[in-house]
Amino acid sequence: MLFGELEFVKETLPFWKDLDAGQKRFMEVKLIERCYGQGQNIHNGEDCTGLLLVKNGQLRSFILSESGKEITLFRLFERDVCILSSSCMMRNITFDIHIEAEKNSEILIMPAGVFKQLSDANPAVKDFQTEIISARLSDVMWVMEQVVFMSMDKRLATFLLEQSSIEGSDELTITHETIARNMGTAREVVSRMLKYFENEGLVALTRGRITLTDRKRLMKCAVD
């Protein structure tokens, strides 16, 4: 493992300091570096990829219904860690998580077997596993709460504001189809609601682009 990668691992995995010398060497040898292009699949829900450490880029985690609809559960950014791609290690996780690169990304992968061996041998790794699972399941529950209890206008306003925060801009280069895929709904529903937002002066629509023109009222729509 290169020096830069080792420093990244030390800063990203808090349990590193609690590993003994043999466990550190074992992990260094077993970590795998991978590069993924935008839209490329990283984890298909059925395999047991392992622990993901995002060096740079942006990943999207989603579930897929039997009818083929997707709904985004959470996103992963630089220095984020995901363990739900090791669902084979967690008996109570019965739904399949899919992960794809939303932007060109570099990640480190700790194979599931390696992580399990470290977790079984070191309580600090087990504690980290519990903490990460809890955090990600909280993200999942927030999405489920939106789907079950929020109206479509609130969900769409929330999505647009979150996307604006991620991109650092009020101009979003995104299609109605992509929004629908993220929200687990039909493109026609998204297009209708966006047209309503445009008529209300909340957004401006052009082909492949949405501009947030009244953030204050969008935020009010998201919370009311």
Q: How far apart are CA 177 and CA 179, in angstroms?
A: 5
Q: What are the two backbone dihedrals, phi and then psi, of residue 213, each rounded to the nearest 5 degrees?
A: -105, -15
Report whether pLDDT(223) > 60: yes
Q: How far apart are CA 106 and CA 104, in angstroms?
A: 7
Contact call for residues 120 and 107 (beta carbons, < 8 A): no
Hey, what's the torsion of the CAs at 210, 211, 217, 221, to 10 degrees? 20
Q: How far apart are CA 49 and CA 71, in angstroms?
A: 21
Condensed to tens digits (0 to 9), the pLDDT of residues 73-119 reads 999 999 999 887 655 555 555 567 899 999 999 999 999 889 989 99
Burial tier of 50 (Cβ tally within 10 Å: 0-12, 13-18, 19+): buried
Q: How far apart are CA 160 and CA 182, in angstroms?
A: 11
Q: How far apart are CA 109 and CA 48, in angstroms?
A: 11
Confidence of residue 48 (pLDDT cuts 50, 70, 90): confident
Confidence of residue 181 (pLDDT cuts 50, 70, 90): very high
**Cβ-based neighbours of 145, under 8 Å, separated by 6 or more:** none
Condensed to tens digits (0 to 9), the pLDDT of residues 141-157 reads 989 888 889 999 999 99
- Chain centre to alpha carbon of residue 184: 15
- The helix, strand and coil proportions of the chain, stated in percent and rounded to the nearest 5, come to 50, 25, 25
Nearest partner of 107 among 67, 141, 80, judged by Cα: 80
Percent of the chain with pLDDT over 70: 92
Q: What are the two backbone dihedrals, phi and then psi, of residue 12, each rounded to the nearest 5 degrees?
A: -90, -35
The per-residue pLDDT for 105 is 97
Report whether pLDDT(34) > 90: yes
Nearest partner of 110 among 27, 54, 43, judged by Cα: 27
Tokens of 148: 């079950």
Domain architecture of the chain: domains with CATH = 3-147 (2.60.120.10), 150-223 (1.10.10.10)
